[in-house]
Amino acid sequence: MGIDGNNILAESLKRQGIEYVFGIVGIPVIETSLAFQAAGLKYIGMRNEQAACYAAQAIGYLTGKPGVCLVVSGPGLLHCIGGMANAQVNCWPLLVIAGSCPEDHEGIGGFQEWLQVESSRQYSKYAARPPSPRLIPLHVEKAIRYASSGRPGVAYLDMPATLLTAEADEDKVPLDYYSADPVSLAHPNPVLVNEAADLLSKAERPLIIVGKGAAYGKAEEAITKLVENIKVPFLPTPMGKGVVPDESQYCVSTARTQALLGADVILLLGARMNWMMHFGQVPRYAANVKIIQVDIAPEEFHNSVKSEVAVHSDIKPFVEALTNKLAEKKFSLQNNSPWWQALKEKQKKNTEFVKAQAADKSLPLNYYAVFKAVQENIPKDSIIVSEGANTMDIGRGILLNNKPRHRLDAGTFGTMGVGPGFAVAAAQWCRDHAPDKRVICVEGDSAFGFSGMEIETMFRYKLPVIIVIVNNNGIYSGFDKEMMTEIQNSGDLAQCTPPTALSTEVRYEKMMEMFGSSGHFCRTVEEIENALKSAIKVTDRPSIINIAINPQSNRKPQTFNWLTESKL
């Protein structure tokens, strides 16, 4: 009995534990998508390949199993490259599968012909084209293993039209080729655990930084126990939020600059000393700070600064071993220590500033007042998706996460346009695993413009995403209607319109009317509160809340530039 490449691919993915596929179909993968559904895979059709790729990698982060992105040949895959690069830099498991032109059309100008395997190698850990239908299961297993193991990342499989339609004797196709057991957690060298414990216990100003790797590694219980036992302040990276609750008394996010600058020993758990952590360098850090670096990827060690102790290990077993070792030493930081007192003083000062800004309800509203209203009117266990410039950065400090893997944002690559795709993935995950949980997608107006048509995807699949658009008429900042009109009347529009400006007060919420529904346009805190209360009740479709704010609203003045400047 014969079986074709489409069904071999579908069965191979299913037997390797793949559950979700996001994509856009066309020649030659229409039958492929149908085969996926027939095999029991969940297929979510998107409106843009880049958004499909973002959704697939987000589901990979949430589940620990690669999401699949299925696209057509040539431009279909090319549109995925941004998403592949984002997943690779973010260290999220993703499998991209693209159709390609028939093999007998290669080299003579085939439809959408492109060097797809070669072009994908720069953005993936593994890229291959199975040479025959019989070998598809081998390459599926290998691609999934590469994407999932060690530092997670991207795998790419190229599927020519001729391979997808080719048949093989089912008895000779090893559909159960090989299904690896889950990779055992890497345990730390006990000598290094002891060195880390010695260094941390002797510190006067210790600090723990909890990264996205700790969230992905599901180390939340171990890290929470460590923090509560030793009472050391901690800082989460943006997607490390919630590993230990943001509302923990030991979280010092509101004194971030002071904590980084004052620490003498830093325990780095699944975070990288890249631009987001200011490279671990002066002037953001003390010149003599000592770093304990724990990572699953040893190539990350000493990347920008030399670590005093570098431990190759999964986060969870290391933290469990460290907690035991510190208990033996009876180490716990005193609540009245000079380090804690300095941090609390800074926290109080910064919190007072934020409270004052959030209490200012004068129109047009500022960011802080908007986010305070959002935070107070959404379920505490919501998954928060966020992107934008000030929208994401200011919102990070006010929109709290008390559970791990409950924040998805522009990430290490700083990619705009990820929000709606991430939200689709998160909402689908919630439907299957936590049906009472809500997804709140907080977008700047510029960021929303990248992938806004995914609202149709949300309607089609009845995903109740609440989209909050913080609308300042621009990129970073914009102009009010009067000023923008004056600018546009001053000369050639292509020469006089500021590059950061967008149209004023765009009524994004009216997109809902395309689907026979209605959105919310808000100017006041009361309108925001009422809109959120209404949106929370909707469980079978998305909602859009479009909030007009002061175009010149900005963040709190910074001690340093937000991005550490080059030393060159």
- One DSSP character per residue, 294-311 reads EES-GGGTTSSS--SEEE
User: If we measure between CA atoms, which residue out of 32, 99, 95 comes closest to residue 71?
Assistant: 99
Number of other residues whose CB lies within 10 A of the CB of residue 342: 15
Average pLDDT over residues 20-47: 98
The two most distant CA atoms of the chain are separated, in Å, by 76
DSSP helix/strand/coil, 20: strand
Task: Give 334-390 pLDDT, tens digit per residue.
Answer: 999 999 999 999 999 999 999 999 999 999 999 999 999 999 999 999 999 999 999
Residues 4, 29 contacting (CB under 8 angstroms) = no
Domains, the chain: 2-172 (3.40.50.970), 190-346 (3.40.50.1220), 360-548 (3.40.50.970)
Model confidence at 298, in pLDDT bands (50, 70, 90)? very high
β-bridge pairing 2-4 and 167-169: antiparallel
Do residues 144 and 16 touch, judged by C-beta distance below 8 A?
yes
Residue 457 to residues 338, 355, 427, 510, 519: CA-CA distances in angstroms? 53, 38, 11, 16, 17
Q: If you search the block for the tokens 């509101």, which residue do you land on?
A: 254
| AA letter at 561 | N
Report DSSP state, residue 548. Answer: E
Q: Is the pLDDT of residue 269 over 70?
A: yes
ω into 498 cis (within 30 of 0): no
Tell me what percent of the residues of the chain surpass a pLDDT of 90.
Answer: 92
299 Cβ contact list (under 8 Å, min separation 6): none
Q: Within 10 A of 393 (CB to CB), how many other CB atoms are there?
A: 16
Contacts of 78 (CB under 8 A, 6+ apart): 114, 119
Residue 64 gets the label, from left (phi > 0), alpha (psi -120 to 50) or beta, of left
- Check: CB of residue 56 under 8 Å from CB of residue 72: no
Distance CA 396, CA 541 (A): 26
212: helix, strand or coil: helix
**pLDDT > 60? residue 568:** no
Nearest by Cα to 308 from 330, 293, 325:
293
98 by DSSP, 3-state: which? strand
Interatomic CA distance for residues 514 and 509, integer angstroms: 10
If you average pLDDT over residues 380-401, what whole number do you get? 96
* Among 476, 441, 498, 470, CA closest to 563: 476
Mean pLDDT of the chain: 95
Tokens of 215: 């969230």
Between the alpha carbon of residue 512 and those of residues 388, 454, 509, 520, the distances in Å are 22, 12, 6, 9
Tokens encoding 361: 């309800």
> Is the pLDDT score of 177 beyond 80?
no
Residue from 495, 497, 519 nearest 508 by CA:
519
Residues ≥6 apart with Cβ < 8 Å to 346 = 254, 255, 258
Give 444-465 pLDDT, tens digit per residue.
Answer: 999 999 999 999 999 999 999 9
Closest C-alpha to 217, from 326, 68, 323, 319: 319
Sole residue written with tokens 């941390």: 200
pLDDT beyond 90 at 555: no
Residues in Cβ contact with 176 at an 8 Å cutoff, skipping those fewer than 6 apart: 15, 137
Structure tokens at 437: 């949980």
Given this model, what pLDDT does residue 178 score? 66
Judge whether residue 40 has pLDDT over 90: yes
Helix axes 525-536, 367-376, angle to 10 degrees: 30
| 54 conformational bin, left if phi > 0, alpha if psi -120 to 50, beta if neither | alpha
Looking at residue 24, its pLDDT comes to 98
pLDDT band at 180 (very low <50, low <70, confident <90, very high): low
Q: How confident is the model at residue 183 (pLDDT cuts 50, 70, 90)?
A: confident
Residue 201, SS3 per DSSP: helix
Residue 392 identity (one-letter amino acid): M
- The order of strands in the sheet holding 466-471 is 407-409, 383-387, 439-444, 466-471, 543-548, 520-522
Q: DSSP alpha helices (H): ranges in 202-314?
A: 212-216, 220-230, 256-262
Q: Distance between CA 440 and CA 408 in Å, rounded?
A: 10
pLDDT, position 174: 85
| CA–CA dist 38, 36 (Å, integer) | 5
